[in-house]
Amino acid sequence: MKYIGTIGVFLVSAFLIVMNSQPSHSTAPETQHAKAIFAGGCFWCMEPAYDKLDGVIATTSGYTGGHKDNPTYEEVSAGGTGHTEALEVTYDSTKIDYATLLEVYWRNSDPTMADSQFCDHGTQYRPAIFYSTDEERQAIEASKKNIESTKTFPGDIVTEISPATKFYPAEDYHQDYYQKNPVRYKFYRYSCGRDQRLKELWG
């Protein structure tokens, strides 16, 4: 009897080990990372609007849309690189969708200004949305059409819509500038008239 009991305990233990090694079918869905690129003038000012959104994992200020490899801030600011200051948004598509990111973009930019935004002038500050897939392009076009049909402000929507090219992260001191230098950031944003203009456009 003692021998049989030992075998029984062994078999039960082996069964439990095998069952515990089987993959669970009730696990939560995996995070689906995706990226979106928006240009709305000074990238310092684009970060806060996206950082506060549930589902946004990270924001990175940088340069894109031009022809110069590995551009510096000084080179982009001087013009001639073809790049514009932009923000790369990394997000969890199971928590927030691309359409919502587009809504936030429109209301944090001036779509009536082609080669400038607020107090910053030049193609390096042009507003643009860069798409990586045809689905994104269609979503942008639909979003733009909705803005055109519902806007209450004068002027055409001139925001550039272009295929995404290589995105170059900006220098470290530009990342999270509004958190690292809150006083300077607030002064710049106010003196640039950004919030005043956004209120005129979007209420």
Question: At CB < 8 A and 24+ separation, what contacts does 132-139 make?
Answer: 132/35, 132/37, 132/163, 132/164, 136/36, 136/98, 137/161, 139/98, 139/99, 139/102
Neighbours of 3 (CB within 10 A): 7
Please state the length of the chain. Answer: 203
Expressed in angstroms, the distance from the first to the final Cα of the chain is 84
3-state secondary structure of 52: coil
What residues act catalytically? 42
Quickly count: other Cβ atoms within 10 Å of residue 154's Cβ.
Answer: 6
Token code pair at residue 111 = 């779509």
**Integer Cα distance of 166 and 13 in angstroms:** 55
> How many C-beta neighbours within 10 Å does residue 67 have?
10
